[in-house]
Structure 1
Amino acid sequence: MFHLDNNSGVSAMPPVGTVQSSAPRWFTEGGGGTPASYPGAAWYNIIQAELLNFLSAYGIAPDKAQFNQLQLAIEEAISQKATAASPLLAAIAALVTSANKMPYFTGKDKVAMTDLTAFARTLLSRDDAAGVLSDLQLGEAAKRDVGTGANQIPDMNSFAFLASGSGYTYLPNGLILQWGIITTSANEVTVTLPIIYPNAILNVFAVSAHTPGNATTSVAAFGTYITSGVRGSFTARSSISTIGGRFLAIGY
């Protein structure tokens, strides 16, 4: 860009005069009794001064044969001002770069350099997941979804349990193990399970309770019975009415 340079101009910028309107006014071609707008020398001088000062601020001398100087000044302004206004950009600009290095963040607006290893370069060069999995030497397990279906890997939610004297545990294949105490009784006793099986009880195993030091006559035999369609309890009987027992139930 360039300034006015023909003989119609003067060597010093004339005073711009007083403000005639504090609100913006816009150009019109006139018509209907309204005269056409005329900017006047003061307006052109203001625009020219703004542009020349902008170029000067970034060390650019006006050149009549160069038509991208305003662009160059804007780019230089962004380069200088944006970095200065951003601590993060300033930190990045201060990095000393070299081959086989890469930046990383060490904190807010803090950056440092670290080695870009051959292994890291290999990973970055891959264009698909298969190549990355091969580089990491990951087997088929890395490709599995989490769940309890076919070809899935269960997580700990699939092993929910209640750790108690009467408790239960879930297995990923759908089986549920339950355990608890059978109270003493001279008759058959109905034992209520900690939880109701969603589908069915498969089997119940019962053993005698025992107090260390007592004779073998204090050990009872137990029988259990599962009523068809009942999923939350079973029937048990002890061979000795004064001896209780413990059970393990399997169902799903």
Structure 2
Amino acid sequence: MSYAEGFNFNFERNLATDPLAKPIGRQKLNQILNDITDALGDAQTALTAVATTGAYVAGGTSFVATPAKALSTLTGARLSLLFGADGGAAPTINTSGLGAKSLKQYGATGAKVAAVIAANQLADIEYDGIDFVILDPLPASLASLGFAGAKATSGYQKLPGGLIIQWGVAAAASNSSGYADVTFPIAFPGAVLSVYGFYSASGTTAGGGCFCTAASSFATTTTCRIWTYSSSFSTPSGGNTPSYLAIGY
């Protein structure tokens, strides 16, 4: 039995009855199995780089991977890496001197984007013919999960399921009739469910309050009206700048 001859039918013949039968030498077979085991170990070593060096460059970090056994081609290459630095905005990696390739990662939409890499991060990467891709995709962003919003004096927060909370301050003080009209930061796609008004009264209106309603005559998907009242809650109070909280979908 040899590498050139291979394991052909003659080795399956009965040595006691068939003159064409060939024996399988134990020593030779053990050598072949040992060679196969060694080859598998070499292949595994070639695909594993336990450390990389990283030098910061404009816009990202240029990593260098040096596997224990150098790669002769990137085709089908898969590496396990321990990154030695943060990746920056556009990281690349040069493996076995075969040229720098971009490091990418699949985003929440399935598109390849620049990989997010932190110092001492352990990751598996695979060459797809263009880029090295970190096999673990990026987690979905809060916005893609329905948590989009705007943190501002007049802002909003969207919640999964479609509910929207909006808040703000009237652009102008309440008029002599005691009301102020406000415009929501964004339009409610469906309807306004509840609107609440607030204002900090002072002087002759100290202790006063305000109210508003989601009734269709005073609130739309884009605006609402808030009334401000004096401390007796019986006289409209002008000149106040109320705040509001609106809930809808």
The structure with more helix, counted as a fraction of residues: 1
Provide TM-score, normalisation by structure 1. 0.39
The structure with more strand, counted as a fraction of residues: 2
Bigger Cα Rg: 1
